[in-house]
Chain A
Amino acid sequence: MSSTLPSAELDVAGQSRALAPATVRAPRLVVDGVGKAYGGVPVLKSVSLEIRPSEILGIAGENGAGKSTMLRIVSGIVRPDTGTLRLDGKPFAPVGYAAAVRSGISMVFQEQALVPNIAVYENLFLAHEKAFRTRFGIVDRNAAIAAAAVALDDLGLGHINPRRQLRDFGFEDRQMIEIARAFALASLHRIAEPIILLDEPTAAISGKEVEALFNRVEAFRGRGSFVLVTHRLSEYLRLCDRVYVFKDGENIAEVGRDRMNEARLHELMVGRVRSTHYYKEDRQRPLPEPATPVVEVRNVSGRGVNEVSFVLNRGEVLGIGGLLGCGKEEIGQAIAGAVPFPQAGEVLINGSPLPVKRRIEAAIAAGLGYVPRERKAEGLVPYLPLRWNASLAMLTRLRRLGLPWIDRGRENEHVRREMTRLRIKAADPMQLCAYMSGGNQQKVVLAKWLMRSPTVLILQNPTRGIDVGTKEEIYGLIRDLSEAGVAILLISDDLPELIGVSGRILLMREGQVAHEYASPADRKPSEDELIRHMV
């Protein structure tokens, strides 16, 4: 892969360090040959990089490239399997996040790590209250509140009263509180130059807050180092001095400010101009006229969704995209009958409306299969064997003589057939799913529904955290199913996937369908086009 890149940009950290001119101050943090694997699947393969003083560093890459894992290793949340870290020249192996914070490294989490039922100031200093302990061992609340007020004011968040409970604030305020915490903890531990990791800090905040955040980051440029991970390439251009590009767990390029532009970063990240083969676009067929509606969604409203209507046809792959919190996940849940339950509107499968109560049973009986986003918590029972997980949804059809006894012979037969078809790699069908790779786990979740021969499949981020090879297999499977007439709703955060696989794309914003795109095999919309309607 790297051989396709111009050699001038191949100066990965290791080499650039050797070439660094003597005038440059020594790097703050040096990551050397760090590797990490989950369940046998490598997420990072011997990655080296450095964070320099007073810089804003970007780490770019596709979903699953290893960016978030790298941040988690630097912040002590995850231990690397191989490789070493050095902070200010000394070996650095933080055990747990609190240890990293005491060394001056803090993180603004992608998914909010705040406690709703305690006050804002308590959230800011959670796990670090010791700093406010008086001589008598009591936490000095007033000092903590005053420090919190200073930190909030400093970020232009004077309207947030640190004494109020966190849950009183909206999502965007909470995001800013999370960012304020990183600064507050650095000053609390008297770290002159903290390293602050920003993991997709703008994924869920709007223009005004993004501007406020970036202004703060720039204002603090001289007071510490920042590492930014974001999905919006323009933000790297706006802020960063340097960007490392990660791809499939490797640090494949370092791009300096002078050579940075969106097209360049994108090409490096994807390693190719969007591949039609990878998403099996050659197998995408136009729908027959007239199309046969399978799922009709009419004015569905509920938590996170507002008056959403659309039709999903037989044999169609309909994609739904949008930013975090736009309601795309919720609309999938509303159709399937997972919580949150819809409050208004109708969902019809094959012309008959689904009830609101016990919707999920009715939906499944009508031929729906639901692949949730959280594979381990919602898609699988991790501590049941592969075979039992795979057969769970069709078990009632495997009864002996109509009695509630399982015909285990037929169960084994069905599971074996699905294992062969989906190429599920397991030595033993009685292997516990908890110990399988993410890709194999997802195949088991799919097998569970395929065994029922569904007419509708709702896929929520079906390839999240899955290796490249398995991803391609899943795209092939989606084509097979679509050719067989299955209606597929693909809800995804992965834009290239959404564009490549879907035949039609709905973009959601603030709970509503903001735009609809046709995405035929020969005229695929570009990512930039879609992003414009998402933000």
Chain B
Amino acid sequence: MTQSDTIPSAFASTPWTAQRLAPVLFLLVLSLAFALANSNFATFANLQNIVLASSILLIIASGSTFVILLGCIDLSVGAIVSLTGIATALLVPSLGAWALVVSVAVGLAVGIVNGALHVGLRIPSFLVTLGTMTAIGGVSLLLNDGRPIPIVHPTFKFLVSGTLVPGVPNIGLWAAAVYLVLILVDQRALFGRHTKAIGGSERTAGLIGLPVGLRKIEAFAISGAAAGLAGALLTARLQTAAIAMGEGLNLQAVATIVIGGTFITGGVGGVARTLIGVLVVVVLSNGLDLLAVHPYVQTVIKGAMVLAAVMAMNDRRLGIPK
């Protein structure tokens, strides 16, 4: 039955079904349409814009993909970005660029707490991360009474805005590195395989003796650490940290993961696909900006896009025709 839509799998880790190709095709069509509609779209400068705008989202969404693959959700990533961004801004004067390490560690810790609460107390991940999201939002406010914190630190700024590779802002390198490492973890490590097995059928995975709880905690830890890194890098890019910096990133991350082709119900998908989802969201936003579409209208279009994508990628497992 599926033989017709699979190709020899020497190149692919999973079959290239029509469902998997759809987001790629959509991204190509979208880009082509913008390129034809506006001469400023397909330029080097605009490509740089797209890289800049994609990087933070790609780091967060790549990390969070494992959580979605498990059939869970992490709503706290936006709040982690704000918390670690503010923490970074407070620490840069004393620690310099090392503040970034602390930021990742804080994100990791929040992720472990998320995972441990979800696994240990058997609270749905939606509720756990909704709770931690709210709580660490409060911590972020306490840190500086909700006031923005500007930073001045050339080395720290170079981390994201410098160009080690000519023409590519360093933040793009960070994102590429995180993305590629997580693809390896997804496709080559036991963790990646276990994640998909658990998300596909937790009962089966348990009966094979896979460490279900541990894998879940690890997935939330990766998600938190990636968000922590994103928080530090965002502060470096903006040269300031504010409570609102992570706002809405949690739902954007989920949207990009699902648009990329990872099933919200878990088990199917992968980190590699998340890049496509990120680019769809960023290219759409960038193209509409270039076309001078009113920002409020843009919000409506983006929302409709997410709905359309989710419908197109809808998990048909509950009503398989055969």
A and B physically associate: yes
- Residue numbers of A with Cβ under 8 A of B are 38-40, 336, 338, 360-361, 363-365, 370, 372, 377-385, 388, 392-393, 395-396, 399, 404-406, 408, 427-432, 434-435, 448
Q: Are A384 and B200 in contact (CB under 8 A)?
A: yes
- Please indicate the chain A residues that have their CB under 8 angstroms from the CB of B9 in the complex: 428-430
Q: Are B190 and A431 in contact (CB under 8 A)?
A: no
B297 at the binding interface (Cβ < 8 Å): no
- Please indicate the chain B residues that have their CB under 8 angstroms from the CB of A404 in the complex: 189-191
Q: How far is the CA of A361 from the CA of B203 in the complex (A)?
A: 14
B38 at the binding interface (Cβ < 8 Å): no
Q: How far is the CA of A43 from the CA of B55 in the complex (A)?
A: 53
Minimum distance in angstroms from A335 CB to a CB of chain B: 13
A392 and B317 in contact, given A377-B204, A383-B267, A431-B15 (Cβ under 8 angstroms): no
Q: Are A405 and B188 in contact (CB under 8 A)?
A: yes
A383 and B317 in contact, given A430-B15, A435-B322 (Cβ under 8 angstroms): yes
**What per-residue 1/0 map shows which CB atoms of B1-40 lie under 8 Å from chain A?**
1110010110010110000000000000000000000000
- Please indicate the chain A residues that have their CB under 8 angstroms from the CB of B2 in the complex: 431-432, 435
For the complex of A and B, list the 4 residue pairs with the smallest distance between their C-beta atoms, beginning with the closest.
A381-B200, A430-B9, A364-B209, A361-B209
Q: How far is the CA of A358 from the CA of B117 in the complex (A)?
A: 20
Q: Are A434 and B197 in contact (CB under 8 A)?
A: no
Q: Report B179-213 residues with CB < 8 Å from chain A CB.
A: 188-191, 193-194, 196-197, 200-201, 203-210
A406 and B189 in contact, given A385-B14, A431-B2 (Cβ under 8 angstroms): yes
A/B interface sample: 18 pairs, CB < 8 A: A38-B322, A338-B206, A360-B207, A363-B209, A364-B208, A365-B209, A378-B201, A378-B203, A381-B201, A383-B268, A383-B317, A384-B197, A392-B205, A392-B208, A395-B194, A404-B191, A427-B6, A435-B1
- Please indicate the chain B residues that have their CB under 8 angstroms from the CB of A388 in the complex: 193, 196-197
A381 and B196 in contact, given A428-B3, A430-B9, A431-B15 (Cβ under 8 angstroms): yes
Q: How far is the CA of A404 from the CA of B195 in the complex (A)?
A: 13
- Please indicate the chain B residues that have their CB under 8 angstroms from the CB of A361 in the complex: 209
Q: Are A405 and B15 in contact (CB under 8 A)?
A: no
- Please indicate the chain A residues that have their CB under 8 angstroms from the CB of B189 in the complex: 404-406
Q: How far is the CA of A227 from the CA of B204 in the complex (A)?
A: 36
A408 and B322 in contact, given A428-B9, A430-B15 (Cβ under 8 angstroms): no
Q: Are A393 and B196 in contact (CB under 8 A)?
A: no
Q: How far is the CA of A39 from the CA of B204 in the complex (A)?
A: 21
B320 at the binding interface (Cβ < 8 Å): yes
- Please indicate the chain B residues that have their CB under 8 angstroms from the CB of A360 in the complex: 206-207, 209
Q: Report B231-275 residues with CB < 8 Å from chain A CB.
A: 267-268
Q: How far is the CA of A430 from the CA of B12 in the complex (A)?
A: 9
Q: How far is the CA of A60 from the CA of B278 in the complex (A)?
A: 58
Q: Are B1 and A392 in contact (CB under 8 A)?
A: no
Q: How far is the CA of A434 from the CA of B14 in the complex (A)?
A: 14
Q: How far is the CA of A484 from the CA of B12 in the complex (A)?
A: 38
Q: Are B200 and A383 in contact (CB under 8 A)?
A: yes
Q: Are A396 and B193 in contact (CB under 8 A)?
A: no
Q: Are A399 and B209 in contact (CB under 8 A)?
A: no
Minimum distance in angstroms from A452 CB to a CB of chain B: 10
- Please indicate the chain A residues that have their CB under 8 angstroms from the CB of B322 in the complex: 38-39, 435
Interface size on B, residues (CB 8 A): 32
A395 and B203 in contact, given A384-B267, A428-B8 (Cβ under 8 angstroms): no
Minimum distance in angstroms from B215 CB to a CB of chain A: 11
Q: How far is the CA of A360 from the CA of B204 in the complex (A)?
A: 12
A385 and B206 in contact, given A40-B1, A399-B190, A430-B6 (Cβ under 8 angstroms): no
- Please indicate the chain A residues that have their CB under 8 angstroms from the CB of B15 in the complex: 385, 428, 430-432
**Centre residue among B205, B206, B208 by max chain A CB count within 10 A:** B208
Q: How far is the CA of A360 from the CA of B211 in the complex (A)?
A: 11
Closest A residue, CB atoms, query B184: A405
Partner of A430, one of B14, B190, B203, B205: B14
Closest B residue, CB atoms, query A396: B190
Q: How far is the CA of A116 from the CA of B12 in the complex (A)?
A: 46
A382 and B197 in contact, given A404-B190, A431-B2 (Cβ under 8 angstroms): no
Q: Are B196 and A378 in contact (CB under 8 A)?
A: no
- Please indicate the chain A residues that have their CB under 8 angstroms from the CB of B188 in the complex: 405-406, 408
Q: How far is the CA of A39 from the CA of B14 in the complex (A)?
A: 21
Q: How far is the CA of A40 from the CA of B204 in the complex (A)?
A: 24
- Please indicate the chain B residues that have their CB under 8 angstroms from the CB of A393 in the complex: 208-209
Q: Are A392 and B210 in contact (CB under 8 A)?
A: yes
Q: Are A448 and B201 in contact (CB under 8 A)?
A: no
Q: Are B6 and A392 in contact (CB under 8 A)?
A: no
Q: How far is the CA of A281 from the CA of B118 in the complex (A)?
A: 51
Q: Are B196 and A377 in contact (CB under 8 A)?
A: no
Q: How far is the CA of A434 from the CA of B204 in the complex (A)?
A: 14
**Centre residue among A38, A336, A370, A431 by max chain B CB count within 10 A:** A431
Q: Are B204 and A378 in contact (CB under 8 A)?
A: yes
Closest B residue, CB atoms, query A380: B204
- Please indicate the chain A residues that have their CB under 8 angstroms from the CB of B205 in the complex: 381, 392
Closest A residue, CB atoms, query B266: A383
Name 19 extra pairs, CB < 8 A, besides A380-B204, A382-B317, A435-B322: A39-B1, A39-B322, A360-B206, A360-B209, A361-B209, A365-B209, A378-B201, A378-B203, A379-B204, A381-B196, A382-B200, A383-B268, A384-B200, A406-B190, A427-B3, A430-B15, A432-B2, A434-B317, A448-B208
- Please indicate the chain A residues that have their CB under 8 angstroms from the CB of B194 in the complex: 395
Q: How far is the CA of A429 from the CA of B200 in the complex (A)?
A: 18
Q: Are A338 and B320 in contact (CB under 8 A)?
A: no
Q: How far is the CA of A435 from the CA of B4 in the complex (A)?
A: 12
**Centre residue among B1, B194, B204 by max chain A CB count within 10 A:** B204
Minimum distance in angstroms from B264 CB to a CB of chain A: 13
- Please indicate the chain B residues that have their CB under 8 angstroms from the CB of A427 in the complex: 3, 6
Closest B residue, CB atoms, query A411: B193
Partner of B193, one of A365, A372, A382, A392: A392
Closest B residue, CB atoms, query A394: B208
A392 and B207 in contact, given A381-B267, A404-B190 (Cβ under 8 angstroms): no
Q: Are B201 and A382 in contact (CB under 8 A)?
A: yes
Q: Are B190 and A392 in contact (CB under 8 A)?
A: no
A381 and B207 in contact, given A405-B189, A408-B188, A434-B320 (Cβ under 8 angstroms): no
- Please indicate the chain B residues that have their CB under 8 angstroms from the CB of A336 in the complex: 207
Minimum distance in angstroms from B258 CB to a CB of chain A: 16
Q: How far is the CA of A427 from the CA of B15 in the complex (A)?
A: 13
Q: Are A431 and B6 in contact (CB under 8 A)?
A: yes
Q: Are A392 and B197 in contact (CB under 8 A)?
A: yes
Closest B residue, CB atoms, query A358: B209
Q: Are B206 and A405 in contact (CB under 8 A)?
A: no
Q: Are B207 and A338 in contact (CB under 8 A)?
A: yes
Minimum distance in angstroms from B273 CB to a CB of chain A: 15
Closest B residue, CB atoms, query A375: B204
Q: How far is the CA of A385 from the CA of B317 in the complex (A)?
A: 15
- Please indicate the chain A residues that have their CB under 8 angstroms from the CB of B209 in the complex: 360-361, 363-365, 393
Q: How far is the CA of A488 from the CA of B191 in the complex (A)?
A: 32
Closest A residue, CB atoms, query B16: A430
